[in-house]
């Protein structure tokens, strides 16, 4: 057991047959220490319980409608794509994975926009149709699948269609395959933007 009883301590100091001043002082000191340890134990137990409750509430909130991103919160998608924000746009759907310590995640946003115009006229990072870089091509394919491209673009399933322009914001890859990327795609027919960020 973590805590000694006073009877055990009494047996250690004179087998309970003597009650001199020194023995009584030791017992009182031990009693004070035991009370302090009990207090610390209960405090730590309470903090642990509060931490568990906080984590559970955070997970529940992240998967509830209250934890979902709204239209105004998704303006960063347009900024990442250098698309003008002075227009009406609407969030069609989105999904954000809960935070994981190793950094793995999947976040995606589908937006309906009015016009596909750039904030700065020298934008040259959007590519229509097929990618010449096979790493970028794989990043497009993985992002499209993870972000449910056919749902956002109403049946379009080919991420390298001539009706789709894509901007590769960032890519993490090894010699064999893409491990993570941030990809933004625009579908001309539906005027929708699909933003996907993933890490595996």
Number of H helices, E strands in the chain: 5, 6
Structural domain range at position 50: 6-62
User: How does pLDDT run across 59-104, given as a tens digit for each residue?
Assistant: 655 554 444 555 667 899 999 999 999 999 999 999 998 877 777 8
Query: What number of CA atoms fall less than 13 Å from residue 18's CA on the CB side?
Result: 9
Judge if 195 and 140 occupy the same domain. yes
Q: What is the pLDDT of residue 175?
A: 81
Q: Does the reported pTM lie above 0.75?
A: no
Q: What is the pLDDT of residue 64?
A: 47
Judge if 57 and 103 occupy the same domain. no
Q: What is the pLDDT of residue 2?
A: 43
What is the C-alpha to C-alpha distance for residues 127 and 168, in angstroms, rounded to an integer?
9
Per the domain annotation, does 39 fall within a domain?
Answer: yes
Q: What is the pLDDT of residue 61?
A: 53
Closest by Cα among 165, 156, 157 to 130:
165
């Amino acid at each position: 057991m973590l805590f000694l009883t006073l009877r055990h301590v009494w047996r250690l100091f004179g087998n309970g047959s003597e009650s001199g001043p020194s023995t009584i002082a030791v017992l009182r000191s031990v009693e004070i220490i035991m009370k302090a340890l009990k207090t610390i134990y209960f405090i730590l137990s309470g903090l642990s319980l509060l931490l568990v409750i906080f984590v559970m509430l955070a997970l529940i909130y992240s998967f509830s409608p209250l934890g979902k991103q709204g239209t105004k919160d998704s303006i960063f998608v347009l900024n990442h794509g250098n698309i003008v924000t002075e227009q009406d746009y609407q969030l069609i759907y989105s999904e954000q994975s809960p935070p994981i310590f190793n950094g793995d995640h999947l976040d995606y946003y589908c937006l309906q926009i009015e016009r596909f115009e750039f904030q700065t006229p020298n934008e040259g990072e959007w590519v229509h149709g097929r990618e010449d870089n096979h790493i970028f091509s794989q990043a497009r394919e993985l992002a499209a699948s993870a972000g449910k491209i056919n749902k956002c673009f109403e049946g379009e399933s080919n991420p390298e269609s001539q009706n789709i322009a894509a901007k590769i914001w960032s890519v993490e890859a090894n010699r064999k395959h893409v491990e993570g990327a941030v990809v933004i795609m625009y579908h001309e027919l539906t005027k929708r933007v699909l933003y996907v960020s993933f890490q595996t």
